[in-house]
Structure 1
Amino acid sequence: MAAPAWAVDAPVLRCQVRYASETLQLEARPTSTPYEVAPHDIGERFRFKAVVVGSEGAVDHIAVYAYDMAVPQAPVLIHEVVYHPPFPSKPTVPGLTGWNHVYSARLGREMVYGCALTKEPSP
């Protein structure tokens, strides 16, 4: 019996994050300690965090967070989404999430991101 599509060897979440004229390529790998995953500062206005909860063999769920850093009470959570299996089998960005547009409360600045769940060859 074949394993489900989301039970893959060495899963990796690849995200592309765009802000202003900058594009970042970020990766997240499975972890059993999601609170220890560090966020990425995007321009000084946003913070982006992608968390893959699971093991090398299977992904339990994926959570993506965006924070507004340009407000006095920063960081302020402005976007949160959680994905559960079965995951789409589209390995190119933005195969999992589609393109998401997130806006800062200050001056309406926009950050755009998209992610795809892919797999790396087993070592």
Structure 2
Amino acid sequence: MLCLTFRLLACAALVCATTLHASPLLRCELTYAGSTQTLEATPVDDPYPVASVDVGGRFYFKAVVVGRGAQPEYIKTYAYLDTRTQPVLVQQATYLPPFATAPGGQRLTGKQFVYAGPVERELQYECVLHGVQP
């Protein structure tokens, strides 16, 4: 019985240690025309191959977390309006460390409202950063 208890405690400690050293995760909630989708971004070394995602056929959104380890080097978000000829950048934001830690993740961007196009379409987004070490 003592051996089983020891094994359970060892497993619990391993799970806690793995959770504490998990890679950062950026989770963004994107809303357009009453429809919401979630985008998750994990750290990369090279930001250029990261693809943007289609948001309701009107916008594209891209979130990039650059750097390895528990503290990203930087985070960038991009919002593009989809036009007939090509996507047009309408908002870009850069976030630099130190990133504060909080239970449930750090609210990185706050609620953002992006307006673009001839009739001022509205894209809303908010990103939360999880798993960052101080």
Aligned to 1:114: 126
Aligned CA RMSD, in angstroms, stands at 1.9
Structure 1 residues 105 and 29, CA, compared in 2 at 3 Å: closer, same or farther? same
The equivalent position to 2:75 in structure 1, one of 62, 70, 76, is 62
CA deviations 1:23-74 (Å, max 9, x no partner) are 01110000001000010000111000000001133300000000010x3442
C-alpha distance in 2 between matches for 1:22 and 1:94: 24
> 2:29: which partner in 1?
16
Structure number, greater radius of gyration: 2
Q: Which amino acid aligns with 2:54?
A: D
SS at match of 1:36: coil
Q: CA 1:12–1:67 in 2, change beyond 3 Å: closer, same or farther?
A: same
Q: Per the alignment, in what secondary structure is the counterpart of residue 124 of structure 2?
A: strand
TM-score by length of 2: 0.76
Question: What is the CA distance between 1:89 and its match in structure 2?
Answer: 2.2
Distance 1:91 1:73 in 2: 43
| Map of 1:105 onto structure 2 | 117
Runs of 5+ unmatched residues, structure 1: 1-7
Q: Between Structure 1 and Structure 2, which shows a larger proportion of helix residues?
A: 2
